Amino acid sequence: MAGHSKWANIQHRKGRQDKLRAKLFSKMSKEITVAAKMGDPDPDKNPRLRLAVKEAKSNSVPKDVIDRAIKKSQAGEGDDYEEIRYEGYGPNGVAVIVEAMTDNRNRTASTVRSTFSKNGGNLGETGSVGFMFERKGEVVYPATAGDADTVFEAAIEAGAEDVESAEDGHIIWCADTDLNEVSNALEAALGESESTKLVWKPTTTTELDLEGMQKLMRLVDALEDDDDIQRVTTNFEATDEVMAQL
């Protein structure tokens, strides 16, 4: 999501998330349960859980839902979940990474494969598109957090690698292993972020026209509708005009 299309892309995904709020809450609860299960149930002592809780709060997940998800981990739930990454190509050769959390590997693999094939894509081997992305920490702040210079200075001071500022807001990038420390330092300097998470950042992009975007969104939406799929990342790029028509 490079250049001029980046913010439109993000807003499109947010619109999609609004339609799927209940499903989104469920997926975030699952991430919280698994994160708490893998480490300490106290977010202050468990960086992955802290980030999961922070991201849930930024998506308006109620506190009682978050607390219930943490309690589930202590009750033995989340034992059977395993994290799996699928890679493949969507329509027009767009690279797609699918992150799943499942208690039935065969069911999920079968669903992902058939969803790709029904929507003009094909599932590849692990590593088939991963080389086109970098694992990064991403912290998003609204424009009201400060001007570009202020945010850039705070980000570099916090240990971030890069900042992309636009009239809609700021995206701060850091090494994946530094996300917890960087986000804590940014919070002290700039306040609460809109979003803090680990992402797959495309290093190369594929530009799509309106028809290509419509085909790709059908694939992405079908994948995201599956309860086992936590998130879907692609390397598409599109103009603001194309995004406005979706």
Distance CA 175, CA 134 (A): 9
Q: How confident is the model at residue 14 (pLDDT cuts 50, 70, 90)?
A: low
Tens-place pLDDT, residues 109-165: 999 999 999 999 999 998 999 999 999 999 999 999 999 999 999 999 999 999 999
pTM of the entire structure?
0.85
Average the pLDDT over each of 9-18, 75-84, 195-204 and give the range with the smallest value: 9-18
Average pLDDT score, the chain = 88
Beta-carbon neighbour count of residue 29 at 10 Å?
19
Tell me if 189 sits within 8 A of 151, measured CB to CB: no
Distance CA 146, CA 34 (A): 35
Q: Is 2 helix (H, G, I), strand (E, B) or coil?
A: coil
Selection from 190, 193, 228, 206 nearest residue 99 by Cα: 228
The confidence score (pLDDT) of residue 161 equals 96
Q: How confident is the model at residue 3 (pLDDT cuts 50, 70, 90)?
A: very low
pLDDT at residue 183 tops 50: yes
Selection from 84, 76, 85, 83 nearest residue 33 by Cα: 76
Token look-up 């308006």 returns 60
DSSP annotation string for 66-111: HHHHHHHHHTTTTTT-EEEEEEEE-GGG-EEEEEEEES-HHHHHHH
